Amino acid sequence: MSYTVNLTINNLYHQIDIVGVLLKDTDADDLQIKLIELLRSNPSPTNLLMIDVRLLQFRASVTNTFFRASAIPNDVKSLNVAIIENDEYKDKGTITENMYRNNGLNLRVFLDKGEAESWFITVNNQKISIPNKQ
């Protein structure tokens, strides 16, 4: 296992950058556990999380292990997650996005950080602009 996980917190969202190499399925399991622990110990007040994996190298089987929606606890499923991905993994990202949505997590895959931030602003405004009942 040879990767690093860095958390950055700003006013709108939390950003996790994952850099390195995942070679085995056990590495992916370990990473998923670390991410969940990190999210629980640093909850986002806006429930917006960006995960940048553009500098992470992995095999397809590792991706399947890491992106197991059933392994994600319910308290983490309340997040709106944007994954910033490389062009070469776009098709895999679309499949992952559909799988997560079917399992109750609002996850989108983007190739551009700016597009992800625009989506966060839209999601955040939808939460805030609830009409008052009279």
Query: What percent of the chain shows pLDDT beyond 90?
Result: 16
Q: In which element (H, E) is residue 50 found?
A: strand 48-58
Domain ranges of the chain: 2-128
Residues in a beta bridge with 108: 82
CATH of 2-128, one of 3.20.20.150, 3.30.230.70, 3.40.50.1980, 3.30.750.24: 3.30.750.24
The model carries a pTM of 0.77
Q: Tell which wins on pLDDT, 102 or 50.
A: 50
Q: What is the radius of gyration, based on Cα positions, of the chain?
A: 15
